[in-house]
A = this chain, B = another copy of it.
């Protein structure tokens, strides 16, 4: 057995109304919480539940609901300033990947000062304010990872930051918050989760346990993936959220690979949703794995219970009409992507030529 490490210290609490029924768990976090969220958490009911749970515990809260998709350093700085002004000693994140990632950066920068130049320089200590995360999409898995991904304007991409203290103390999983999620958001976030499980298995840092978690995730997620374009029952929402969490546990061990590394340019320059960006590139990456006879591909397909062709057809059906991106831009992205650290983490070791072919193929160029 190759050497490996497993670590995922977040306590995960799953079930209908768990924020309310297990709300006493918030007590250990602190006395005044900064709630980091976007605009939709009030509508889906999550904000109300968290505020009720905190109030019942005698905890107070300040709401920071100005997190936008693909959070910037400026947004994080605004959150840190509000946290300090409010005297908050803990954080509750509510939302999709953007509020959760912003919350992790706020929790870290609140106790470790960094200049803008140093933010992406790594070397963070394992210190952060304690956090609880309440995902309201089933995709990012950020509630069980030690990563935050922020927009990096200096490098014109999105860049991850990591520290063991970025694992939330608590994650509350309740599919009811996704009951009225728009179809496009459901599809895109499910593609993100699918990509996490697949990329985890294609990572050079895959471990026996991350693979087991990924297989379990795919086994549950893949049949649901086909359904995300239609109506989902609340049970299916719960299952999707659970599978997304398993995929998060996977990448917490293995990290992501070329698909994520390549997708960031599509998001940064064309505003393509993160999950959709991964979905656009995933089919090409899987075909490359077949060509290069990557052993993990067979395990991925077995866990999905489908053929490579079937998986590609499923993804394509969810993606619909592709964006119109000039060939020259895609070729430029291929050059850029080779500088991304995630590329080197792929077990299939894509060359620049292969990365270019995936980009071009994704948009029918």
Contacts and interface: CB of A to CB of B under 8 A. Distances in A.
Interface residues of A, number: 29
Interface in A1-43: 1-9, 11-16, 18, 21-22
Interface stretch (A235-243, A260-268, A294-302, A321-329): A235-243
A3 B14 contact: yes
Contacts of A212: 212-213, 216, 246
Contacts of A45: none
Most chain B Cβ neighbours within 10 Å, of A11, A21, A246: A11
Contacts of A6: 11-12, 14
A310 interface: no
A239 B12 CA distance: 27
A223 interface: no
Copies of this chain, whole number: 2
A48 interface: no
A87 interface: no
B4 A15 contact: yes
B4 A14 contact: yes
A2 to B, nearest CB: 7
B216 A1 contact: no
A208 B15 CA distance: 12
Given A212-B212, A212-B216, A216-B212, A8 B5 contact: no
Contacts of A1: 14-15, 175, 235, 238-239, 242
Contacts of A15: 1-4
Contacts of A22: 5
A227 to B, nearest CB: 16
A239 B208 CA distance: 10
Interface string A116-138: 00000000000000000000000
Nearest to A216: B212
Interface string A226-266: 00000000010011001000100000000000000000000
A5 B13 contact: yes
Contacts of A4: 14-15
A242 B6 CA distance: 11
Nearest to A25: B5
Nearest to A14: B4
A162 to B, nearest CB: 15
Contacts of A216: 212
A315 to B, nearest CB: 25
A216 B7 CA distance: 18
A335 B212 CA distance: 41
Contacts of A9: 8-9, 11
A179 to B, nearest CB: 15
A1 B18 CA distance: 12
8 contacts: A1-B15, A1-B175, A1-B242, A3-B18, A5-B11, A6-B12, A7-B12, A8-B9
Counting from the closest, the 9 A-B pairs by CB-CB distance are A3-B15, A9-B9, A6-B12, A7-B11, A1-B238, A212-B216, A5-B13, A4-B14, A3-B18
Interface of A: 1-9, 11-16, 18, 21-22, 175, 208-209, 212-213, 216, 235, 238-239, 242, 246
Given A3-B13, A5-B14, A8-B8, 20 more contacts: A1-B14, A1-B15, A1-B235, A1-B239, A1-B242, A2-B15, A3-B15, A3-B16, A3-B18, A4-B14, A4-B15, A5-B11, A5-B22, A6-B11, A7-B12, A9-B9, A9-B11, A209-B246, A212-B212, A212-B246
